[in-house]
Chain A
Amino acid sequence: MGDGNNTSGRGIAANNTPSSNSEKPEWLQQYNLLGKIGEGTYGLVFLARIKSATNRGKCIAIKKFKQSKDGDGVSPTAIREIMLLREISHENVVKLVNVHINHADMSLYLAFDYAEYDLYEIIKHHRDKVNHAMNQYTVKSLLWQLLNGLNYLHSNWIIHRDLKPSNILVMGEGEEQGVVKIADFGLARIYQAPLKPLSENGVVVTIWYRAPELLLGAKHYTSAVDMWAVGCIFAELLTLKPLFQGAEAKSTPNPFQLDQLDKIFKILGHPTLEKWPTLASLPHWQSDVQHIQSHKYENAGLHSVVHLSPKSPAFDLLSRMLEYDPRKRITAAQALEHEYFRIEPLPGRNALVPSQPGEKIVNYPTRPVDQNTDFEGTTSIQQPPQPVSSGNVAGGMGAHVGRNGSVNRPMPPPSMQRMPQGIMAYNFPSQAGVGGGINPGGMPMQRNLAAQAHQQQQLRRKDPGMGMTGYPPQQKSRRM
C-alpha cells in the first residue's frame, strides 16, 4: 500500500508516486477528459468519457470540490453532498457513481452519471431559439418527474433548499433519455432535528425561487420551501420567463429582499393574516412594516401572467404551489395526485419525446464543453474551444458553464496542464458498501454476508414494501 504497488486503486493508501510514463493519476486514466462543463462556488465540473470496456463511451460528470478556504480540512459542502447521496437512490435524483480523493490537496472529485440537458438550457433554448412555448406533454412530464424525485427526498426528510432550473437535469440520448434528475445537494439538509436552526446555515436558494417565509426571515423552514421553488419553475416552464424576477440586494447580510417580495406581491397580491396567520411572527414582516405593507396589491394576476384559465387544473396546481402559508402549500405527494396529472396529455418517462405522433421534437443544444481547462482548474490556450459532439451521452449531472456561454476565463500560465497526483478511486456501485474502496490490506471483506447471516435482517427482508412505505406506486395509466 502506498508503495507503488497498484492494486487497482484500492487500499486506503494513495499511490502518490506518479507512474513513469504519464503524469495522470491512476484513477484519471480510466477516463478521457473532455473538458470543463461547469463552475460554481464549490468548484468545477468536468465532462469525461469512460475508457474501460464495460462502460466504454459512457459519459461522466466529475465535480471537483475546492478545498475549504480556511484550511479547515475537507470541504463540508462536499462531505455533506456525498453523505446525502450515499443514502438516497431514486430514478429522479442524480446518481453518484464514484468518489475520487486527491490526497495532495485534500480535494474530492465526485463522479456522476452525465446528463446532457437541464431546465435552464431547455427553457433558454425555447425562449431564444424556438420562439414558441414548450409542448404540454413535456412541461407536464418534467414537472411530474421533478415532483416524483422531490417527494422521495422529502419522504427521506431531505430538503433540497436550492431548486432552480439549472439544478434540474434531463438525460440525453440513451436508455434514460428525457428522464429528470434533481442535482446539486450541496445545500441540502436533513431536517429531522438540526442542531441549529436551519437558517443559521446561511441564506439559501437563489432569490427568484426563494419562498416568502425565507424572504421574511423565518428561522425554521420546511420542505414547503422546495415546493415554492417548484411552483416558480412550473410557471417558468409555461411562460419561459422567471416568474418573480427580483433584483438581489447583495449587500444585506440578512435574507430580507424587498424587491423580490415586491415582485411576488405584485403578482399574487398581498399576503394577509387571514390567509397566513403566522405571518405576523416573521421577523421582517414586523420590522419592515412600512416597506412591505405600504403598497397594497390586491388583484392577484397570476393567471394572466402564466396565460392559464383560472379554472384549469394546471392553474389550480400552480396556485397551490404558490400558496403563501407554507402550512397550506401543497406537498410533493399531494401534487403528484393532482388532477392536472390525470388529464391528457398524461406525463411520461421520456419528457423530451412526446409519444403523440405529429408532435414536433425539439432538438436541444448539447452542453458546451470548455476544452481548455484541465483538472486543476487551470486554463490553457493551446486549443480553441470546440463544441462537443452530441454522441452517445447518457448519464446525469450538471452544473453550469458560465451562464452566458462564456467559457473562456482569465488565463493562468498556459503550461500548467499537469494533473493532480495520487488520487484514489472509491467506487461505489461495484462495491455497494463493500469495503473495496478502502480495504486496508486487501483482504476480502464480505459485506454482503452481513446481509444474510443476521437474523433480524432476514426477518426485515420478508417485510414487503419495507423502506418504501408511503411511496405512491406509479400508476399504470401513466407512461412512467
Chain B
Amino acid sequence: MADFHTSTHRANWIFSPQELVEKYKAANQRAVQTLEKYGTTQMEVDADGSLSYPEPIARDNADKHSRPKPLNIEEEQFMRVFYENKLREVCSAFYFPNKIQATALIYFKRFYLQWSVMEHHPKHIMLTCVYAACKIEENHVSAEELGKGISQDHQMILNYEMIVYQSLEFDLIVYAPYRSVEGFVNDMEEFCGVKDDENQMLKDLQETARLEVDKIMLTDAPHLFPPGQLALAALRNANEMHRVLDFEGYLRRILARQNSEHTILQLIESLDAIDAWVRKFKFPTEKDMKHINRKLKSCWGHSSHDDSKKREKKRHKSHKSLNEARGQQLHGRTESKGYRNNPFSVTIVAELVHVGDISTFCMVTRPFWRRAKSYGVADHRAPIPYDGT
C-alpha cells in the first residue's frame, strides 16, 4: 500500500507525546490493579487463543512485604527495548529480509501500546510478531519451523497470533523508514547530479542512514513521527558524517516541490525532536534486567505459594524463559537454516530499487512523486520489472 496518507498507520498509530505517555500509564495502571486484585499480572492464554485472568488468590493475612511489586513505567520500557533487540537477533538468525524485521518490530511496539509487559510475556509476543510479519510480508514460515529454530514451543506462537492481530486492530500494513531512506537517496542522486565518485558517497550515506534508522526504531519516535521524517532525521545524521550534500538545501527542495505549507523550521524541529529521542535512549544494563526479571517473576506469581497444578506448570515454563532472557543467549542460532541462501534476497534488492523507493517516501504532505515525475500510479508500465527482464 503505497499511500501513507490514507493509511491506517497515519490515521491510527501516530500519536502526540502526551497521548503516548497516557497509553503507557494506562497499561501500567491496569497491570498494577490486576496485581492487587489477583496477585498476578500475567494473563492466561488458553489453547484456543482466548485470554483470561487467573482466579483471584485469596491472601489471608496478606503479608505486605511478600506482596509482589509491579514494574514501573521505566522498567517496562527497558523490558520492551530488551526484547526489541532480541527480535532483531531472531530475524537475523533466520536471515529474514530486513522488511520482516522492520514490520515485526513495529507490530511489537504497537502491541505494547495496548498492553503492559507484565500482562503478556514479551518473549512470546516478540516471536508471535515475527511470525505474523512473515505471514503478512509473504515470507511464510511455519510456526513450527520458527519455534524449532530458536528452541521455543511453537504452540505458544499460535496461541498468541490472534491476540496480536486484535491488539494491532488488524492494521497490519506498516511503513518502516528503511524504504523511505532508499527513496530519498535515489532522489538525492538527482539533486546532486550524480558523478561516479559521488555515487559511492551516496551509498555510504545510505548505509550509515540505515544504521541510524536502526537506532531510531528502538525509541518511541516511530509512534510519534511519520516514516518520511524518521528517514530524513537518519539521513541528516548520516550526512553530518559523510558531508555529501547541503542537507538544508535538500530539505528546502523537498518542501518546495511538495508545495508544502510546512516551513523548513517546522521540519527541522521534527528532525531535532527525533534526534533527541535517540540521544536519550537507554539500553538496560545486565543489572537492570536482573532486577526487572526478579520483579516480573513475582508479578507473575511464580514465587508465591500456590499449589494448583496449572500454576506449577507455568512456573516451570517461565523459569526457563527468564533464564533465557537473562542469559541473553539466542538458542539454536545455528539451527536455523534455509534462509542463508535465500534466493529471493537478490530479487528483493532489485525490486526495491525499481519500485519501492517511489512509493514510500511517506513524507509529511502530499506525495510529491506523483507530481514530480510520472512514476505512475496506475501506469503499470513502470512499476514492476516485467517478465524478469
Contacts and interface: CB of A to CB of B under 8 A. Distances in A.
Interface stretch (B77-85, B201-209, B346-354): B346-354
B15 A450 contact: yes
A466 B52 CA distance: 43
B177 to A, nearest CB: 15
A218 B143 CA distance: 31
B50 interface: yes
Interface in B359-377: 359-360, 364-367, 370-371, 376-377
A190 B173 contact: yes
Instruction: Choose among B179, B371, B386 the residue with the greatest number of A CB atoms under 10 Å from its CB.
Output: B386
B158 to A, nearest CB: 5
Given A278-B387, A465-B366, A74 B51 contact: no
Contacts of B135: 73-74, 76, 79
Contacts of A125: none
A195 B139 contact: yes
B7 A87 contact: yes
Nearest to B171: A86
B378 A469 contact: no
A87 B3 CA distance: 9
B365 A466 contact: yes
B158 A73 contact: yes
B114 A193 contact: no
Interface size classification for chain B: 35 or more
B348 A193 contact: yes
Given A106-B162, A213-B387, A83 B170 contact: yes
Contact of A12 (B137, B157, B167, B360): B167
B364 A13 contact: no
Contacts of A446: 19
B347 A197 contact: yes
Contact of A13 (B52, B131, B270): B52
B226 interface: yes
B378 A333 contact: yes
A220 B380 CA distance: 12
A468 B6 CA distance: 8
Interface of A is mostly: loop
B50 A156 contact: no
Contacts of B376: 331
B49 interface: yes
Contacts of B52: 1-3, 13
B251 interface: no
A439 B30 CA distance: 11
B1 A2 contact: no
B142 A72 contact: yes
A74 B161 CA distance: 7
A450 B8 contact: no
Given A192-B2, A195-B348, A83 B172 contact: yes
Nearest to B367: A469
B11 interface: yes
Contacts of B100: 195
A436 to B, nearest CB: 9
Contact of A86 (B163, B172, B352): B172
B17 to A, nearest CB: 9
A158 B377 CA distance: 10
A343 interface: no
Interface of B: 1-3, 5-8, 10-12, 14-16, 18-19, 23, 26-27, 30, 43, 46, 48-53, 97, 99-100, 114-115, 119, 131, 135-140, 142-144, 157-158, 161-163, 165-167, 169-173, 179, 224-226, 229, 260-262, 266, 270, 344, 347-348, 351-352, 355-356, 359-360, 364-367, 370-371, 376-381, 383-389
Interface of A: 1-3, 12-14, 16, 70-74, 76, 79-80, 82-84, 86-87, 89, 99, 101, 103-106, 151, 154-158, 190-198, 201, 213, 218-224, 227, 278, 281-282, 326-327, 329, 331-334, 422, 424, 426, 432-433, 435, 437-441, 443, 445-447, 449-451, 453-457, 459-460, 462-463, 465-470
Closest A-B pairs by Cβ, 4 of them: A453-B16, A433-B12, A467-B5, A2-B52
28 contacts: A1-B52, A70-B142, A71-B158, A72-B142, A74-B135, A83-B136, A105-B48, A106-B48, A157-B377, A192-B2, A192-B356, A195-B139, A195-B344, A198-B384, A218-B386, A220-B385, A223-B380, A281-B387, A326-B380, A326-B386, A327-B380, A424-B166, A445-B23, A445-B26, A449-B16, A451-B11, A457-B10, A457-B14
Given A14-B50, A154-B378, A450-B16, 18 more contacts: A3-B52, A72-B144, A73-B157, A103-B162, A106-B162, A191-B355, A193-B351, A195-B348, A196-B138, A223-B383, A281-B388, A281-B389, A327-B381, A331-B378, A331-B380, A454-B15, A457-B14, A460-B365
